[in-house]
Amino acid sequence: MTRSPVSTLRIVIADDQASVREGLVLLLGGLPDIDVVGAAADGQQALDLVAEHKPDAILLDLHMPVLDGIGATRRLAAEHPDVAIVVLTTFADDASVLDALHAGARSYLTKDADRTRIAQALHAAAGGLTVVDPSVHAVLLAAAAAAAKPEPAGAAGTAATQPPDGLTQREVEILSLIARGLTNPEIAAQLFLSNHTVKTHIGRIFAKTGSRDRAAAIGYAHRHDIG
């Protein structure tokens, strides 16, 4: 879809937090070149609104109920490929960024972006360009460097071993730090993540390992030689 750079951009906003969602509607809807045609509280509502209004772009949070942002992004990319997907989230860890971009997001911003930055990203994405937050650039560069890093001698066997129970490499890393006795703030500081991101990862770790608390997770880590 080719659009004139001065045409009004029709967008849908999706965020499960009412205050954030309503704030974005007011902020972006007040711009002369943006028309907010719908606001969704979860991923499924976002899909329904996109199907109904056929916007140019969608501004999408990652962590939402019913259908999360990654699942919604995959379906949007498959079912509505002309709709540019711009992620706006508090999460800038490597797993969230890479999952979103692989799923089909065109741009990725964190919620400290101002209205002008968000509007520019939406217009750019609708025009076929990719815009990422500076902190996301750093994450992508770090991920690329890690992927290109030569494997140390004797590590072939461990590299080929997949983490148990569907744990991601980041979750294994955090679980190992839990097993070493680090607190959430200490883990966040060591991995350059927010406390909220660490809590989200730990919740996923507990769910995947069947752990009710930190002690159970530490026991799991010891049984699987993690940490």
pLDDT digits (tens, 9 = 90+) for 99-111: 888 889 989 998 8
Confidence (pLDDT) at 90 = 86
Confidence (pLDDT) at 151 = 54
Query: 24 is written with which tokens?
Result: 């974005």
Confidence (pLDDT) at 95 = 76
Q: Which residues of the chain register pLDDT less than 70?
A: 1-6, 94, 135, 137-161
> Has residue 152 been placed in a domain?
no
Residue ranges making up the domain that contains 133:
9-139
Confidence (pLDDT) at 158 = 44
**Alpha helices (H) in the chain, listed in sequence order:** 18-29, 43-53, 69-79, 94-103, 115-126, 134-148, 156-160, 169-179, 184-191, 195-209, 214-223
> Has residue 2 been placed in a domain?
no
The residue out of 107, 139, 171 marking a domain boundary is 139
Confidence (pLDDT) at 175 = 92
Residue 53, domain CATH: 3.40.50.2300
Radius of gyration of the chain (CA): 19
